[in-house]
Amino acid sequence: MSIWEKAKTLDRRIIFLFMFLGVGLPLLAKIGLPVSVTDDVRNVYNYIEKLEPGDIVLVSYDHDTGTLPEMIPMSDAILRHLFKKDIRVVGMALRAEGNGIGRQNIRRTSAEFDKTEGTDYVFLGFRPEITAAILGLGTSFEKVFPKDDRGIPVGELPLMNEVSNYNDVKLVISVTDDDTPVYWVNYANARFKVKVVAGLTAVMATTFFPFIDSGQMVGMVAGLKGAAEYEKLIKTPGRAARGMDAQSIAHLVMIGFIIIGNVAFIMRRRGK
Amino acid sequence: MPLQVFAFELYISDQPNDDGTRLTVEWDPLPPDDLRSIDPEIYSLLRSESPDGEFTSIDIVSRLDPSRRKIDENLATGRSYYYKLAYSDSTISWESNVAGPAAPEENWYNRSRTNVLIGILITGAFVGIFIILGRKGKSLYLRPIAGLNAMDEAIGRATEMGKPILYSSGRGKMERPASIASMNILGSVAEKVASYGTPLIFPNNDPVVTAVAQEVAREGYTKAGHADLYNPDNIYFVTDSQFGYAAAVDGIMMRERPATNLFFGTFEAESLILAETGNSIGAIQIAGTDSSIQMAFFIVACDFVLIGEELFAASGYLSGDPQVVGTLKGSDYLKVIIIIMILFGAVVGLLNQEWFVNLFLTA
Amino acid sequence: MRRTFPILVCFSFGMTMLVQFFVPSKLSTDAYNEITNWVQIIYAFALIVGVVGLLKYHFSRVSRRERGWFYNLVTVASLIVMSLLGFIGGRGDGGSFMWVFNNMMAPMQATVFSLLAFFVASAAYRGFLARNLEAFLLLFSAVMIMFGIASVGNAIPPFSDIANWILINPSMTARRGIFIGVGLGTIAVSLRVILGVERTYLGKE
C-alpha cells in the first residue's frame, strides 16, 4: 500500500494527537498573535458605548456548562463594559444550567466594580419554556419572575421597580450556545422592538449574519475570537486573548490536514 | 425659589395599537429658551389626573434623548391625564405648560400588522386550497428525496446485520415544528422496523418528546401488526443537558453498535459529535435538521441529509397522506411568489426605491 | 374522542394565539398572558414526568442486572445526591451543590464539547476533498474562512477580506435560501397541526 493509499485510511487518532498539540502547546507558550476587530463586534461595543449611565440591559444566560470555556470570556468582557459605564444589569437564564453560570458570573464581575445587588444589578433566575418566557417578559417582568434568584420579591428590589417590560430595557444580550437568539429576535425584537445582541459559540455564528444584515440584531460577539476582539475594544486583555493563540494554531493544523488529504487524493487519482 | 411657568409645549397622544393603557409624551428640542443659560441635563416628567391637582414625577427626561418621547404605561383606559415637564435647582424652579387632557384608548386591531395579516391570509389560502385539492383526490407530484428513499435500505441493512437502529430527534422541544416533523418520520420508521423485527433505540433529550415518541412508536408497531415487539424501555429520557445527551448517545453507539443512525429534528453543537461517532462505527447515517449550521456538519459526516424544508416534507412523503402533500404543494407555490418578490425587490432596490421594503416592515 | 379533544384544544389555542397577535385589546393581552403563564407551568410538570420516567427506566435496568447496570446505578445516585445537596444545602454560591456544579458537571460537559475540535478536524480531513468543481469551491471557502477569520490570516487584509466576502455573500445567500425553505416548512407544519391535518404526534388512534 502506497503512502497515499495509507493517507486515505489515516487513523483519526493521529489527527486527534496533532489537534491536541495544536491546542495545548500555544496555551503553554504565549505567542500573542494579532487580533483585528470585526464590524459585528464593533457594532455591539458602539451600541453599549452610546448608552447612558443608569440605562438597563438584560443579559440572558441561555447556555449549558459544556460551552463555559468559550462563553465566559465573552460574557466577562461585555459585563465589564456595562458595569464600567454604570449601566445596570438584569440577569436571567433560559437554560437550567445557565442559572448557576449567570448568577456566579454577574456577581463575580460586578464585584470588580463594587456594584450592589438589587440596585446596580439583579439576577432573576431560570425560567423554562423559551417562547413563553420571552413573550411573557414583553408584558411584565414581575409576572415571569415574581422573585429574584435569592427568593426576594422583585417589588422589593429598587432596580426592578424601574423595569416593567421590554420598554424599560435598552438592550437584550443572549449569551448562548444554540439558536436561542432566533427566539429573542422573533418574539422580543419583532413583537416588542427591543434591540437584541447575541454572544455565541463560534460554531453558531453564521446562523445570525442574516439577522444582523436585516437590522433585527445589533451585532454579535462570536466565540473566543469575538471575546478577544471585545477585550481589545475595552482595553482589558483577559482569557480570550490568551485562548486565541491556541485557536489560531488549531485552525492551521486543520488546514494542514486538509492540504495533506487533498495531495494524497490527487496522487491516488494520478496513480490509477 | 419662586416657581416660574414658561411656554414650553408637551404633546400628548394615545399610543396606537395597544390595550388602552399607554400615552405618548413628546416634546420640542431641549433646553427651553428660558433655560438656555443653565442647559440642565435632566428634567422631571410629571403627571396628574386634573390640571390643577397634584402632579407626581413619573420619569426623568434627558436633554440628550434623541427620540424626544416617552411612553407612559399602566394607565387606566379612558381616564384623562395631564403632563408637564419640570426642572429645579438652587437658582430656579421651572415648569412647562400643562399639556392635556389625553385619555388612552383601547384598540381592537393592530393596524401596524396589516402586512403580516395579508401574508398569513395568502399563505393560509394557498395551503388551504391544496389541502382541499388533496382531499378531493387530486394527484400531487412530490419529487423524490434521496435521504428518504434510502431509509428502506438503511433499515434493511440493520435487519440483515442483526443490529439495532438508533433514532435521535436532537435537542428540540415538542413545540418546534422540526420535532413534530421528526415524530412523523418516527411513526413511519417504527412501522418499518416493526415489520422487520429490528430493535429501535431512541434516547431522548426532552421528557415531553419522550412521552410523544413512545406513543408514536407504539402506534407504528401496532399498525405493522407487531404491537408485541414494541419495547417502551428502548425509548427513554436521558437528560436535558446538551453534552450530557451527546455523551450518552455516543456511549450507546459504542456499546450497541447500531447499523443505522437516524438524526431528525433540531440539533446544535452536538450534531457532529454524534455523527462522527456514528461514522467511526460504520453506521449508515441519515439526517435532517432545521438548523442550517448543523446541516453542514451532517453533510460531512452522514450518508444522506435532508436539506431545509425536506425535513418538513418527509411526513407527507412517507405517509402519502394527500392532505399533508397538499400543504407541501401550497408552500412550494408560496416559494415561487417569494422568489418573484425577491427579484422584484432587487430591481426596485437597485432603483433606490424604498417603498417596496417598507411594505414588509412592522411598527 | 381520544384524538378529537386534543385536536380541538390545539386548534382553539393555535387560533387564539394567531388572532391575539392582531388584537391588542386588554382582553386579548390578558388571555395571552394567561396562556404564556400556563405553558410554563405545564412544562414544569413535564419535568416531573421526565424524572419519574428516568428513575423507572434506570431502576428497572438495575433490578434486572442488565449489561452496564452499574452505570444506571450511578445515574440514579447522581440524581438523588444532587437533589439532596440542592434541597438541604441550597443552591447558593459556595455551597456543596455549586461546588459539584462548578468542579464536576462543568468540566465533564466541557470535555464532551471539546471533542468537537477533534471531530471537526477528522471530518474535515475526510470530507474536504476536491473531487469536482463544487467540492473544490467548498474546500477553498472552508480554508479561506478558517485562515482569514479564525486564524492568523485575520490580520492579513487580503485573506480576511476574501473570508468576509465569502461569509457575507455566497454563504449568506445560501443560508437565506435555506431559511426561507425552513420557514415555509415551519408554516406548513404549524398549519397542519392547528388544522388537525397532522395527527401523528398524538400517537394512538
What is the SS3 string spanning chain C?
Answer: CCCHHHHHHHHHHHHHHHHHCCCCCHHHHHHHHHHHHHHHHHHHHHHHHHHHHHHHHHHHHHHCCCCCHHHHHHHHHHHHHHHHHHHHHCCCCCCHHHHHHHHHHHHHHHHHHHHHHHHHHHHHHHHCCCCCHHHHHHHHHHHHHHHHCCCHHHHCHHHHHHHHHHHHHHHHHHHHHHHHHHHHHHHHHHHHHHCCCCCHHHCCC
Verify whether the Cβ–Cβ distance B107 to C175 is below 8 Å: no
Task: State the pLDDT at residue B253.
Answer: 94
Share of chain C above pLDDT 90, in %: 5
Q: Smallest Cβ distance to B293: which of A12, A96, A206?
A: A206
Q: Which fold has domain B140-320?
A: Rossmann fold (3.40.50)
- Tell me if chain A has a CB within 8 Å of the CB of B243: yes
Q: Considering only CB atoms, which chain B residues are within 8 Å of C124?
A: 300
Q: Where are the domains of chain B?
A: 3-102, 111-129+325-358, 140-320
- The C-alpha cell 479561506 sits at C144
Q: Considering only CB atoms, which chain C residues are within 8 Å of B296?
A: none
> How many CB atoms lie under 10 A from the CB of residue C114?
18
Q: Grid coordinates standing for A213?
A: 444584515
Verify whether the Cβ–Cβ distance B127 to C187 is below 8 Å: yes
Q: Smallest Cβ distance to C109: which of A65, A103, A140?
A: A65
> Is the confidence at residue B90, as pLDDT, over 80?
no
With 0-12 CB in 10 A as exposed, 13-18 as middle and 19+ as buried, what is A116? Answer: exposed
Task: State the pLDDT at residue B100.
Answer: 77
- Which of A17-26, B57-66, B166-175 is least confident? B57-66
Average pLDDT of chain B?
86
Task: State the pLDDT at residue B190.
Answer: 93
What is the SS3 string spanning B262-279?
Answer: EEEEECCCHHHHHHHHHH
Task: Say how far apart CA B154 and CA B263 lie, in whole Å.
Answer: 13
List the subunits that have 3+ CB pairs under 8 angstroms with A.
Answer: B, C
Q: Which of A164, A179, A209 to mutate to test the interface with B (most CBs of B within 10 A)?
A: A179
Verify whether the Cβ–Cβ distance B243 to A164 is below 8 Å: no
pLDDT range class, residue B3, cuts 50, 70, 90: low
pLDDT range class, residue B337, cuts 50, 70, 90: very high
List the subunits that have 3+ CB pairs under 8 angstroms with C.
Answer: A, B
Task: Say how far apart CA B250 and CA B281 lie, in whole Å.
Answer: 10
Q: Where are the domains of chain C?
A: 1-89, 128-205
Q: Which fold has domain B3-102?
A: Immunoglobulin-like (2.60.40)
Task: State the pLDDT at residue C177.
Answer: 87
Verify whether the Cβ–Cβ distance B291 to A207 is below 8 Å: yes
Task: Say how far apart CA B181 and CA B265 lie, in whole Å.
Answer: 7
Q: In Å, how far from its chain's centre is CA B307? A: 19
Share of chain B above pLDDT 70, in %: 98
Taking CA–CA distances from B179, the nearest residue in chain C reads C201
Task: State the pLDDT at residue B339.
Answer: 92
Task: Say how far apart CA A145 and CA A134 lie, in whole Å.
Answer: 11
Helix (H, G, I), strand (E, B) or coil at A169: coil
List the subunits that have 3+ CB pairs under 8 angstroms with B.
Answer: A, C
Strand B23-27, strand B69-72: pairing:
antiparallel
> Is the confidence at residue A11, as pLDDT, over 70?
yes
- Which of A65-74, A179-188, A262-271, B354-363 is least confident? B354-363
With 0-12 CB in 10 A as exposed, 13-18 as middle and 19+ as buried, what is A210? Answer: middle
Task: Say how far apart CA B223 and CA B295 lie, in whole Å.
Answer: 32
Share of chain A above pLDDT 90, in %: 43
